[in-house]
Amino acid sequence: MSQLRYSKDHEYVRLEGEIGIVGISDHAQSQLGDVVFVELPKVGTPLAQRAEAAVVESVKAASEVYAPVSGEVVAVNDALEGQPNLINEDATGKGWIFRVRLSAPAELDALMDEAAYEEFLKSEA
């Protein structure tokens, strides 16, 4: 069973202790097409749930990345600056965007698990 939790905006968060690893879902990256640039948040930035945290630009469009949970940015994936296509290659692995120290862990309860997210995608089609 996956540890990923998803928002309706197609972001995911994977909890590792009190740190959430955040990125966009595999579905979102496939809809965007080839990612050519990622605007990363600054370490130390406080984020509210659903606040804009980053921007992913592809050959098709620019798309905001919203924080699926509230907290403070504690790390960013610097590898994306030189290799934004990591998001296309491994969205939920090497293509993570930032890490956040959760300030309200209960917000995870409002996010979808993988099965619920798959159902959500079917309802959007």
Structure tokens at 56: 């992913």
Q: Tell me: pLDDT of 1 over 70.
A: no
Using 50, 70 and 90 to split pLDDT, how confident is the model at 2? low
Neighbour count for residue 2 (Cβ, 10 Å) = 12
By residue range, what is the domain housing residue 78? Answer: 4-105
Residue 50 lies in a domain: yes
Percent of the chain with pLDDT over 70: 98
pLDDT at res. 87: 98
Residue 12 lies in a domain: yes
pLDDT at res. 124: 83
Catalogue the long-range contacts made by 46-49 (C-beta closer than 8 Å, 24 or more residues apart): 46/71, 46/72, 46/73, 46/103, 47/71, 47/72, 47/73, 47/100, 49/104, 49/107
**pTM of full prediction above 0.85:** yes
CATH code at position 45 = 2.40.50.100
φ and ψ at 121, to 5 degrees?
A: -65, -40
Separation of alpha carbons 100 and 73, rounded Å: 4
DSSP-derived secondary structure for 45-58:
-EE-TTSEEEEEEE
Using one digit for the tens of pLDDT, what is the confidence trace for 28-65? 999 999 999 999 999 999 999 999 999 999 999 999 99
Total number of domains constituting the chain: 1
Residue 117 lies in a domain: no
Residue 114 lies in a domain: no
